[in-house]
Structure 1
Amino acid sequence: MSVTADRSPGFRTHPVSGLVRLADVAVALWRRKLLVCLVTLLGALVPYAASFAVPNYYFIYTQILLDPEGTRIFESDLQRPEQQRSADLEVLSQQSVITSDLVLERVVENENLADDPDFGAASPHYPDEARRKVLALEKLRDAVKLKRIGDSFVIEVKITDTKPERAIRIARQIPNIYFQTRQDSSAEALRRTGSSLSQQLQNLKAAVEAADRAVTDYRAKHNIALINGQSDIAGQVTELNNQVSDLAARIAQQKAISAELSKMRADPAYRPSVPDINLSRAIVQLRARYDQSREELNVLAASVGARHPSYQAAQERSRAITRVLDGELRNHADAAARNVKTLEEQNRLLTARLDQTKGQLNENDATMVTLRELERNLASQRSVYEEFLLRTQQLSQQAGAVQEQSRVIDPASFPLRRAGPPRNMMALIGALTGLLLVMAGILLRSDLLGVSAKRGLAA
């Protein structure tokens, strides 16, 4: 045996004794071409023919958009609990409702699946209808599969059946029955809650009436009259307090006016800074005339001098206006001082009357405490009654309103082809499988490997 090798560094020779040349394989297959064609054809025909023996089945799909929260028309704790349920748990719960006996049993009844040979009347055949319905229900549950689309609120309903028309009817009935079941459940819950609230409403109404009678009887027994929601004594105290506050404000105002008038008399330079609102109309007019006379004197002094007759006449007019203004300020200040004394005397009398009334109120504290307790009890009973009355009205309105907004977003439609792989694909896979098997058999049963090995050694 001679082996050719390259003497250059890093190169190793590889023997070819174990290689099978493609030409030898092609020759061996060509010699048995009838067998190869026969096995390949048989591999294609067997799965193709078997596909006709297997009953056709179809997949029907429909998608339901759930509404976990619902459309809330009225704010109510009955519809909006303080702790909201998890949306994921709600979707899982609704999936269980869709495949529950409550929904599927109505589908069995509507489609009469208990007597269908593919469902309730299938082998083993049960003579009684009850067991046929149970068998139909089990087969229908096996045929119905649910899948949630991602993290959305969309549920895909998949129906597997040998008859597409029947599968479409089932796929269309399941959402309708599911929606009706939820509406019936909501209506029943509202009815039970409304009945319970109505009974409690009657009891609360009786409690409010009893509390109102207790308050009225207590007032009549202790001769307590109410003025603007208060007892007559409490109302008098409030009114007297308001009058004392008003008098205090008026006294402070009159004192401020009196002080300003006195300062105006003592300091002529201060007169222009006093607001007109604190002065009488006569004083305002006299002050304006006084300012004009002073301005006229300044003009004449600058133009004709202090000895001019015009200046002296103007000076005399200014003195006369000053005397009149001073007298008016004095009279107004005296009147303000008298008003202060009068108001202080009224304030003293009102304060004494207020103290006397407060004493009467303190003497009647025990009676008023009991009355206030009865009134608080009446207010509490009335608040609870009004709240339950509002809830009852909301429930009566919700009974006719659609709360659930779940709907079908992808209705079931007739399938274009049956489920499973196409027959042509099955035939092609079978043909390739048969070809590979016959090639392997030919290579194993022939001496092709040995011949190829000898040729490799000789080379």
Structure 2
Amino acid sequence: MFDFGTRMLGEPVAVGHGSPGLDSTEILRRLRRGSGVIVLSGVAAVVLALVGLHLANPTYTSVLQILVDPTDLSVIANDLTTRSPQADSGVSIAESQTRVIQSDSVLRPVVERLDLARDDEFVRAPSTNPIVVALKDLLDLDMPAASRDPVNLALDTLRTKLGVRRAERTFVIDVYVQTYDPEKSARIANAIGEAYFAEEARARNDAARRASDALTARLTSLRRGVEEAEGKVLKYREANRLVTTSGRLLSDQQLGDLNQQLVTATIRTAEAQSRLDQARRMQAGEAGTALPEMLQSTEMQNLRQSFAALSRNTAELATRLGQRHPAMAEQYAQLRDLQRLIQREKERIIETSQKDYDRAAASEAAIRKSLDRVKAETAGNDRANVGLRELDRELDARRAVYETFLKRARETSEQERLNNANLRVISAATPARRRAWPPSPKVVLPLAFVLGLAVGAGLALLRGARRETGVMPARAPVGLGARSFRAADA
């Protein structure tokens, strides 16, 4: 029978193609054979790491922390830019402020203030190497002339070195700046904070200024409208003879005054009538009869006193001398003279009371006549007041709007110098004590050694696999010539 497993002379033998996989023993054997390669790879990785650490330019990061409170300071009641956010909008406000910090309006003043356009780290000088220049010309990598502004280049570089983020569940914004100089990083971070505060104040002042300018421009037309309304009211008053004093129509004021004067005149007339009636009743009385106080006069009092004294003397003489004594005739004559004088004084008092009454009655009649005339004028004015009140309402409305705009314009003008933003720095940037990149050799070297060992182990396993799977010529064993021959024949 033919044996297909018989090898022919000179036939190559392949080893390991049929093995399904490697076991741990085979792996350890291969690693042990390539231990030198593994150690050499680890040492080479450490050396490369040391060279890389030596060649790398260290960078330093400084951090500035800003607290952005969504609720502004309550300085005045009706501020233009007061923020009173809802419960879920505070985070959006804080996130918006992170974008503001990275904007040109904040970063450009920092570039100009710190003169970063002349810093080699931010604006690199163009290469003078002919190969580099030729390669750029070939690939058209040169920037246009309009894009070569040093300030813009420094601004673009600053953005790559700047990081702004908000810590989760807080309103604290962290501003990171990474440069080759720790003091420069801190200086730039603090300058960004100052520029951000200045930009916020400027934005609020600009908003107040725009509002103030808009209100001031509107005030001109509002003032013109008030003047036109006042002119209409004045013309209407003149056309309808509606004269006002102290805010009241003259006819209304006269009507009130005349009513008061009529009451006073009526009282005065009644008093004069009462005095006249009493004076007339007094005329029929005796000479020694007591008079009302309103009819008393100095002359009447003297006459009555003289009459009383003479009456007493006459009575005493009549008692002592008798009624028929010659001396009594003179006494009676004096009494008759005093009675005549008293009667004449009574007539004078009656005449005076009559004149007072006539004067009071005439005054009352004149006041009543004037009152009737003013009432007629007031009735006509009431009809004219319908149109006047409509004009007054329009004037009051325009004046109220004008005064409101005028007050608001003054407030917004003052708000230009008021900043109520609730922003503050809770942690200023300081120079970093340790570099941010590259990492510390305590971390890099062990990691490089481990990676080198891993690479060496991979190379050792690959080398062992190639050695075992390589093609090798086989020698014909002694005594197998006939079987090999039969196999060749077959």
Q: TM-score, normalised to structure 1's length?
A: 0.57
Verify: 1:208 aligned to 2:258, yes or no: no
Q: Give 1:389 shift.
A: 2.0
Q: Which amino acid aligns with 2:68?
A: L
Asked if structure 2 preserves the Cα contact closer than 8 Å seen for 1:114 and 1:135, the reply is yes
Selected match of 2:39 from 37, 40, 48: 37
CA change 1:129–1:30 in 2 (3 A) is closer
1:80 and 1:235 map into 2 onto residues whose CA distance is: 50
CA change 1:26–1:95 in 2 (3 A) is closer
Q: Give 1:26 shift.
A: 6.2
Which of 425-434 and 164-173 deviates more?
425-434
- Based on CA coordinates, which of the two structures has the bigger radius of gyration? 2
Look up the SS of the partner of 2:149 in the other structure. Answer: helix
Selected match of 1:392 from 385, 409, 412: 409
CA change 1:435–1:81 in 2 (3 A) is closer
Partner of 2:199: 181
1:213 and 1:163 map into 2 onto residues whose CA distance is: 74
Asked if structure 2 preserves the Cα contact closer than 8 Å seen for 1:121 and 1:132, the reply is no
Partner of 1:425: 443
1:385 and 1:446 map into 2 onto residues whose CA distance is: 97
Question: Which runs of no fewer than 5 residues in structure 2 stay unpaired?
Answer: 1-19, 129-142, 257-373, 469-490
Taking the TM superposition and a 5 Å limit, the aligned residue runs for 1:227-376 are 366-376=383-393
Partner of 1:139: 157
Which of 45-54 and 71-80 deviates more?
71-80
Look up the SS of the partner of 1:437 in the other structure. Answer: helix
Which of 61-70 and 125-134 deviates more?
125-134
Asked if structure 1 preserves the Cα contact closer than 8 Å seen for 2:161 and 2:179, the reply is yes
CA change 1:188–1:136 in 2 (3 A) is same
CA change 1:130–1:193 in 2 (3 A) is farther
Q: Give 1:48 shift.
A: 3.0
Asked if structure 2 preserves the Cα contact closer than 8 Å seen for 1:68 and 1:91, the reply is yes
CA change 1:234–1:43 in 2 (3 A) is same
1:158 and 1:215 map into 2 onto residues whose CA distance is: 68
2:392 and 2:82 map into 1 onto residues whose CA distance is: 32
CA change 1:123–1:410 in 2 (3 A) is farther
Aligned length: 316
Partner of 2:114: 111
Q: CA offsets per residue over residues 398-451 of structure 1, 9 Å max, x none? A: 23322223222221122231124322222212222222333344445449x99x
Question: Which runs of no fewer than 5 residues in structure 1 stay unpaired?
Answer: 1-16, 239-356, 451-459
2:163 and 2:49 map into 1 onto residues whose CA distance is: 28
Q: Give 1:391 shift.
A: 0.8
CA RMSD of aligned residues (A): 4.2
2:375 and 2:83 map into 1 onto residues whose CA distance is: 50
2:224 and 2:409 map into 1 onto residues whose CA distance is: 17
Q: Give 1:218 shift.
A: 2.6
Q: TM-score, normalised to structure 2's length?
A: 0.54
Verify: 1:407 aligned to 2:424, yes or no: yes
Look up the SS of the partner of 1:150 in the other structure. Answer: coil
2:66 and 2:82 map into 1 onto residues whose CA distance is: 24
Q: Which amino acid aligns with 2:118?
A: D
Q: CA offsets per residue over residues 77-99 of structure 1, 9 Å max, x none? A: 73359999954554444333322
Percent identity reads 30
Taking the TM superposition and a 5 Å limit, the aligned residue runs for 1:69-148 are 69-76=71-78, 78-79=80-81, 86-124=89-127, 131-148=149-166
1:387 and 1:171 map into 2 onto residues whose CA distance is: 45
Q: Give 1:32 shift.
A: 5.6
CA change 1:206–1:46 in 2 (3 A) is same
Q: Which amino acid aligns with 1:405?
A: N
1:91 and 1:32 map into 2 onto residues whose CA distance is: 59
Partner of 2:210: 192
